[in-house]
Amino acid sequence: MGTAKTFMLLAALTALFMAVGYLIGGVLGMAIAFVVAAGMNVFSWWNADKIVLRMQGAKEVTPETSSPMLRTFAGDVARMAERAGLPAPRVYIIETPQPNAFATGRNPENAAVAATSGLLGSLTREEVAGVMAHELAHVQNRDTLTMTVTATIAGAIGMLANFALFFGRERAGLIGSLAIMIFAPMAAALVQMAISRSREYEADKRGAEICGNPLWLASALQKIERGARERNPAMAHMYIANPLNGRGADNLFSTHPATANRIEALRRMAAEMGVSSETADAPRRQAGPWG
């Protein structure tokens, strides 16, 4: 269902792009905007792993890494990747107290996953496994490609909208051009965020299958959201769980679903898989992150 929703949203975004492009610049204007936006986003997608990891000061975890905990962490990721039928990704650690994790890379063969020291320090080994399984699901679902395509179309719409006032009057008129300039980028952004939320739900589901226990991720999300609320809300967009989301309906202006909704979906999945409440509570009972 999540994949079907993503395709429907992409179709809606494409239709919006074609409508805006035709109103402003016709076929030629539409083609120029798409080519420019595609060029910028394809470059970012191809080099995303190098750019993001360098910006975050990430250090690769190798067999020569001195910390036994980090070697164990990398081993857990490699075993889950094998279980998912994926090549083992490169594993990185980022020294920051913010609890966070992400996946990057243009395809599964060139993927990298990273976790912060804050994530490893505040979660149990099982909860970390749930989080990293979620990131591996993003790799397997090729979500970096999906979001690159989405960003390309949304960027092209934004570019066309910027030209609306100068080149759109003949086709759309002054009022129409102003409306396009204001509302087209907003609509594109809303669809882009909806696609992102859809991919998060899909990664939660596949990640739970990879690690074998949906409630490990549910427990991790609760802890990460609680910790994030206690830290810097300006960093909300960087979290696997967005701390600024409400607990009700998913926020239209957020890239992540409401944490409460994600946890509810994971708990339903756990019940379907027959995961007991004792198994669910096990990570919380452990004394330390890797006890």
**Is the alpha carbon torsion for 172, 173, 177, 178 positive or negative?**
negative
> How many CB atoms within 10 Å of residue 245?
24
Q: Which two tokens stand for residue 92?
A: 């990185």
Q: Which two tokens stand for residue 16?
A: 């919006």
Q: Is 264 designated active site?
A: no
What CA–CA distance (Å, rounded) separates 284 from 127? 9
Classified as helix, coil or strand, 116 is strand
Q: Are 272 and 212 in contact, with CB atoms under 8 Å apart? A: no
Q: Which two tokens stand for residue 27?
A: 């076929």
| Per annotation, catalytic residue among 135, 200, 202, 225 | 135
Q: Please give the C-alpha separations between residue 218 and each of 106, 120, 129, 134, in angstroms, as whole numbers.
A: 28, 16, 11, 11
Three-state SS string over 133-188 comes to: HHHHHHHHCCHHHHHHHHHHHHHHHHHHHHCHHHHCHHHHHHHHHHHHHHHHHHHH
Q: Which residues, in sequence order, are bridge partners of residue 102?
A: 114
Nearest residue to 49 (alpha-carbon basis) of 62, 40, 37, 58: 58
Residues catalogued as catalytic: 135
